[in-house]
C-alpha cells in the first residue's frame, strides 16, 4: 500500500471494524500474549471496546487461576459467548507464542528484536507497516519515594545507580543511606527498554541486588513504601510514587509529561506495539489492530493512562535556550503533538510516521489549515560540519513536505535548525535517531 493510498484509506474513516465478525464454535476468538504493560489494562480495555463495537452484550472479565492472565467475554444477541484471552507475562513471551502458534497477536512494549524477526520470518515480515502497529506512546518514569528530595537525574547517573556502582544517596549529594533498587523481570518489555536506553548503551548491566517484579503495580507500591527506593515503571503505574525529571546528554531535564511523551522528546519515551503476522487469517486480530488505531481506540489509550496518538495543538513558551527563529515561531504558532522520525539508516518515514501522517493530514483539513498555515521544522544530530547538520535537518523536513504537498497542503515555510535543541545524547545511535526529527507547527 502506498503512503498516499494509506492516507486516503485512513482519512476516509480509518479502518472499518463495524462489520460483524465470525463467532468461532469452539475456543477463543483471539489469543493475545506478551507485554504486562499492555496486557494488565490497556489490552483488555481495547478488547472491550471492540466487543462493544461489535454489538456484544454482558461484556465482562474473567480471571483464571494463572496470574497476569484474563479472559474478556461478551455475548451475542443469540446467547453465544465470545472469548478473547489476554496473557501478560512480558513482551518476549508474545513473540515466542507467535512462533509456537499459541497466540494470534503479540503485545510488546518494545520493538521486535532482529533475532525474533528472523525466528518468525515464516509468518511474513513483522516489520512491515501492516504488521508493526504502534498503538500508544508510553514513558518510563523513574520513581522515588515521595519523601525523597531529588527532583531530577540524568541517564548517566541512572546507569551507574542501577548497575550498583553508586550505592548511596549521599554519593549523589543527597541523604538517606543505601540505595534500594527495584526493577521489572527479565521477560518484561519495560526492562528491555530500560536496559536499551540506559544500561546497555553505557556497557552496564543491572545489579544483582535489584528486587525484580513481574507486576508493575507491585513494583510501584514497593518503591512508595521504601524511603531509600528507586525504580523504573510505565507511566500509568506511577501511582503513589514520585516521578523525577530526566536529562540525556545535552538535553534539558524533562518530566514524563504527556506532551513530551507524545512527541517522544522525553528521554525515556517508548512505543507500545501490536504485532500481527501479515499472513494472519484471524479476523478478530485484524479488527483489534484497526480498532486500536481508530479515534475510539486512541480515546481508550488515553483513558488507560497512556499517551494517545491523537494530534492536538499545544502552545510552547519561548525561553533563552531556544534559537531566536524558534522563539519567534513559538510566539506566533502552535506545535502539534507529533514528531516525524525516520527508519534507521534511511530517509524513509518509519511505520509510526506513516500512521501519524494520516492523523496530521486529518487535523490540517478538519481545521482549515491547508493554505499556508503549516511550518515544518527539522532537526538533526551533531556533525563535524554545522552547515551539513543544518542541510540534513532541512532535507528531513522537505521529505515530510513532499508527502503533505501530495495531499494538497500548501506549506507556509520549511526550516532547519541543525543539531540545536537536542532531545537525546548524540553519543549513541538511539539518541541520534531521536534527534533526527521533524516538528509540525500551525498558525
Same domain? For 76 and 46 the reply is yes
- DSSP track, 302-342: HHTTSB-----EE-----TTS-HHHHHHHHH-EEEEEEE-B
CATH of the domain at 67: 3.40.190.10
- Which of 280, 303, 326 lies at the terminal end of a domain, its last residue? 303
Q: Taking a C-beta distance cutoff of 8 angstroms, is the pair 172, 268 a contact?
A: no
Query: Does residue 206 sit within a domain?
Result: yes
Question: What's residue 15's pLDDT?
Answer: 44
Q: Which residues of 352-383 are buried (b: 16+ CB within 10 A; e: fewer)?
A: bbbbbbbbbbbbbeeeebbeebbbbbbbbbbb
What phi and psi values does residue 113 have, to the nearest 5 degrees? Answer: -80, 155
Q: How far apart are CA 240 and CA 7, in angstroms?
A: 41
pTM: 0.83
Query: Does residue 2 sit within a domain?
Result: no
Name the β-bridge partners of 138: 270
Q: Taking a C-beta distance cutoff of 8 angstroms, is the pair 244, 151 a contact?
A: yes
Same domain? For 147 and 130 the reply is no
Residue partners of 346: CB distance under 8 A and separation at least 6: none
CATH of the domain at 356: 3.30.1330.60
Q: Taking a C-beta distance cutoff of 8 angstroms, is the pair 174, 268 a contact?
A: no
Same domain? For 285 and 327 the reply is no
How many structural domains are present in the chain? 3
Same domain? For 360 and 379 the reply is yes
pLDDT string in tens for the chain (443-residue length): 444 434 443 443 444 445 789 999 889 999 999 999 899 999 999 999 999 999 999 999 999 889 899 999 999 999 999 999 999 999 999 999 999 999 999 999 999 999 999 999 999 999 999 999 999 999 999 999 999 999 999 999 999 999 999 999 999 999 999 999 999 999 898 998 899 889 988 999 999 999 999 999 999 999 999 999 999 999 889 999 999 999 998 888 999 999 999 999 999 998 999 999 998 999 999 999 999 999 999 999 999 989 999 999 999 999 998 999 999 999 999 999 999 987 665 667 888 988 899 999 999 999 999 999 999 999 988 887 888 888 989 999 999 999 999 999 999 999 999 999 999 888 777 788 889 999 999 99
Q: Taking a C-beta distance cutoff of 8 angstroms, is the pair 401, 347 a contact?
A: no
Question: What's residue 1's pLDDT?
Answer: 44
- DSSP track, 75-88: E-TT--EEEEEEEE
Same domain? For 18 and 94 the reply is yes
Q: How far apart are CA 95 and CA 275, in angstroms?
A: 9
Domain that holds residue 98: 14-135+272-303
Query: Does residue 7 sit within a domain?
Result: no
245-247 and 152-154 beta bridge pairing: parallel
Amino acid at each position: 500500500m502506498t503512503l498516499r493510498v494509506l492516507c486516503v484509506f485512513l482519512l476516509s474513516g480509518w479502518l472499518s471494524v463495524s462489520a460483524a465478525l465470525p463467532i468461532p464454535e469452539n475456543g477463543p476468538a483471539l489469543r493475545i500474549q506478551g507485554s504486562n504493560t499492555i496486557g494488565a489494562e490497556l489490552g483488555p480495555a481495547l478488547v472491550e471496546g471492540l466487543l462493544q463495537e461489535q454489538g456484544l452484550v454482558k461484556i465482562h472479565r474473567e480471571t483464571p487461576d494463572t496470574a497476569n492472565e484474563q479472559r474478556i467475554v461478551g455475548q451475542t444477541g443469540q446467547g453465544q459467548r465470545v472469548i478473547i484471552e489476554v496473557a501478560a507475562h512480558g513482551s518476549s513471551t508474545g513473540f515466542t507464542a507467535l512462533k509456537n502458534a499459541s497466540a494470534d497477536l503479540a503485545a510488546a512494549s518494545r520493538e521486535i528484536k532482529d533475532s525474533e524477526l528472523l525466528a518468525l520470518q515464516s509468518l511474513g515480515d513483522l516489520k512491515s507497516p501492516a504488521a508493526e502497529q504502534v498503538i500508544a506512546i508510553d514513558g518510563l518514569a523513574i520513581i522515588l519515594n515521595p519523601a525523597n528530595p531529588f527532583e531530577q537525574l540524568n541517564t548517566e547517573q541512572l546507569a551507574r545507580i542501577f548497575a550498583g556502582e553508586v550505592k548511596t544517596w549521599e554519593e549523589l549529594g543527597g541523604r538517606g543511606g543505601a540505595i534500594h533498587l527495584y526493577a521489572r523481570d527479565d521477560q518484561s518489555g519495560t526492562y528491555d527498554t530500560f536496559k536499551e536506553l540506559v544500561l546497555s548503551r553505557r556497557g552496564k548491566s543491572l545489579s544483582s541486588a535489584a528486587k525484580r517484579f513481574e507486576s508493575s503495580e507491585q513494583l510501584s507500591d514497593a518503591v512508595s513504601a521504601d524511603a531509600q527506593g528507586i525504580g523504573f515503571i510505565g507511566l500509568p503505574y506511577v501511582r503513589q510514587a514520585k516521578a523525577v525529571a530526566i536529562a540525556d546528554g545535552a538535553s534539558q531535564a524533562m518530566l514524563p509529561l504527556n506532551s513530551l511523551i507524545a512527541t517522544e522528546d522525553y528521554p525515556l519515551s517508548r512505543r507500545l506495539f501490536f504485532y500481527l503476522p501479515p499472513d494472519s487469517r484471524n479476523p478478530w486480530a485484524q479488527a483489534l489492530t484497526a480498532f486500536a488505531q481508530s479515534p475510539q481506540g486512541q480515546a481508550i489509550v488515553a483513558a488507560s493512562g497512556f499517551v494517545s496518538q491523537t494530534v492536538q495543538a499545544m502552545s510552547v513558551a519561548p525561553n533563552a535556550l531556544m534559537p531566536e527563529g524558534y522563539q519567534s515561531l513559538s510566539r506566533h504558532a502552535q506545535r502539534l503533538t507529533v514528531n516525524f522520525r525516520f527508519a534507521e539508516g534511511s530517509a524513509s518515514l518509519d511505520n509510526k510516521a506513516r500512521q501519524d501522517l494520516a492523523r496530521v493530514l486529518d487535523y490540517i483539513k478538519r481545521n482549515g489549515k491547508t493554505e499556508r498555515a503549516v511550518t515544518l521544522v527539522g532537526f538533526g544530530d551533531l556533525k563535524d560540519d554545522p552547515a551539513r547538520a543544518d542541510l540534513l535537518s532541512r532535507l528531513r523536513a522537505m521529505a515530510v513536505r513532499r508527502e503533505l504537498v501530495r495531499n494538497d497542503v500548501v506549506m507556509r515555510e520549511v526550516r532547519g535548525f541543525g543539531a540545536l535543541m537536542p532531545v537525546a545524547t548524540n553519543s549513541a545511535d538511539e539518541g541520534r535517531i531521536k534527534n533526527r526529527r521533524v516538528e509540525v507547527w500551525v498558525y
